[in-house]
Amino acid sequence: MRHRSYLLLAHYPVVDRVGATITSAMTALDLHDLSRLARTYGLGGFFAQTNLPQQSALMQRLLRHWIGGAGGELNPSRKVALEGLSMVESIDEAAGKVEAEWGEKPLLIATSARDDGERMGFGEVGKLLAETTRPAIIIFGTASGLAPAALESCDVVVEPIGTPSDYNHLSVRSAASITVDRLFG
């Protein structure tokens, strides 16, 4: 059976280091890493989100090498992973696609390195996902994270990845990998 949980990497609206709302640049390597992560954990798929059509078009052009081109022939496992990737303009668009597939609105589960609002523990979120019949989208923000309004519009915000140090500056690639392993590993 197809997995009901999806990943989404958000590039807008996110905040920069001083808290201004921006669109961050898409990074091809992020799309590879999160596609491979979603596929390895058997998830429903992975959405790469940006509000800038030119960014989306550039990425689709780069990824064509891996899906229909020489990269995919040389490295079939990369092709398989990237086939689970969809480009979307908004979190709403991704939610609509998931709802169309499952007949129910997905739970929107945001992640954040900041601990300044209502947060749910990893154990609780894992339990929620195991028990609900609804599909879900786990959302990761690039740059300095999802903009506050976008974060608050999600159903759940997961607690930050707790670590033994006072330093918490993981890359989004690391944070997504650890989050997925904690929730689905």
Pick between residue 133 and residue 165 the one whose CB is nearest to a second copy. 165
Which of 13, 26, 36, 87 binds a second copy (CB under 8 A)? It is: 36
Q: Is 165 in the site for a second copy (CB under 8 A)?
A: yes
Residues numbered 77-136 forming contacts with a second copy, rule: CB under 8 A: 77-78, 80-81
Q: Which of 26, 37, 88, 156 binds a second copy (CB under 8 A)?
A: 37
Q: How far apart are CA 92 and CA 14, in angstroms?
A: 15
Region 60-79 residues binding a second copy, contact defined as CB under 8 A: 74-75, 77-78
According to the binding rule CB under 8 A, does residue 153 interact with a second copy?
Answer: no
> Is 122 or 155 the residue whose CB approaches a second copy more closely?
122
Determine the Cα angle at 58 with ends 147 and 26, to 5°: 25
Task: Indicate the burial class of 22 (C-beta count within 10 angstroms; 0-12, 13-18, 19 or more).
Answer: middle
**What is the total residue count of the chain?**
185
